């Protein structure tokens, strides 16, 4: 289903070289809000080390954010030393294609990582990229995201029920 991620993890730091190797992923398109930073603009402890380890193993990364708050995105980009695209209008394909061009990889080798089904996962799936849903870093959301969360919780519940029936991990 177009709303289901290929993988569902607690946070981005669970994305390891081993996980990426298993799915032949060579690049990550990363969301910012509630994925890399919480609403107070704080990064989870160890995120810089995580990013460095992936880059040292030749994993390319790019931030793709719907936010128009350039300073916030630029700050995360500079700390993690990865490029960014702001005001992306996810789930529209155009921004994902722009990020793909930046990474210089085929869509089958790119994972889209984010905490929202209706932007990150839907957009990544529409572009035939591997999708990784993470739990939000914080329960608080901006207004528009709060509206979407009940539908996303329903989709996640169905996704997890399907995995349980299949006996998947």
CA atoms within 13 A on the CB side of 28: 28
Q: What is the DSSP string of the chain?
A: -TTS-SEEESSGGG--HHHHHHTT--EEEE--BTTTB-TTSPPPTTHHHHHHHHHHTT-EEEEE-S---HHHHHHHHHHHT--EE-S--TTSHHHHHHHHHHHT--GGGEEEEES-IIIIIHHHHHTT-EEEEE--SSS---HHHHHHHHHHHHHHHHHHHHHHHHT--
pLDDT, tens digit only, all 169 positions of the chain? 899 999 999 999 999 999 999 999 999 999 999 999 988 889 999 999 999 999 999 999 999 999 999 999 999 999 999 999 999 999 999 999 999 999 999 999 999 999 999 999 999 999 999 999 999 987 655 556 667 777 788 788 888 888 766 655 5
Residue boundaries of the structural domains of the chain: 7-166
Quote the pLDDT of residue 63: 98
Domain 7-166: give its CATH superfamily.
HAD superfamily/HAD-like (3.40.50.1000)
Give CA–CA dist 112/116, Å, rounded.
11
pTM of the full predicted structure?
A: 0.89
Quote the pLDDT of residue 109: 98
């Amino acid at each position: 289903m177009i709303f289901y991620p290929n993988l569902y993890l607690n946070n981005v730091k669970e994305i390891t070289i081993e996980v990426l190797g298993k799915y032949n992923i060579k690049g990550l398109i990363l969301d910012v809000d509630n994925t890399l930073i919480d609403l107070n603009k704080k990064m989870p402890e160890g995120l810089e080390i995580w990013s460095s380890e992936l880059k040292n193993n030749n994993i390319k990364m790019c931030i793709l954010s719907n936010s128009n708050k350039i300073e916030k995105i630029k700050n995360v980009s500079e700390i993690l030393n990865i490029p960014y695209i702001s005001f992306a209008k996810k789930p529209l394909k155009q921004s994902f294609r722009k990020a793909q061009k930046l990474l210089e990889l085929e869509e089958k080798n790119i994972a889209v990582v984010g905490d929202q089904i209706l932007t990150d996962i839907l957009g990544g799936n529409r572009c035939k990229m591997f999708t990784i849903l993470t739990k939000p870093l914080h329960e608080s959301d901006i207004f528009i995201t709060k509206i979407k969360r009940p539908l996303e919780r329903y989709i996640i519940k169905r996704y997890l029920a399907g995995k349980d029936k299949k006996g998947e991990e």
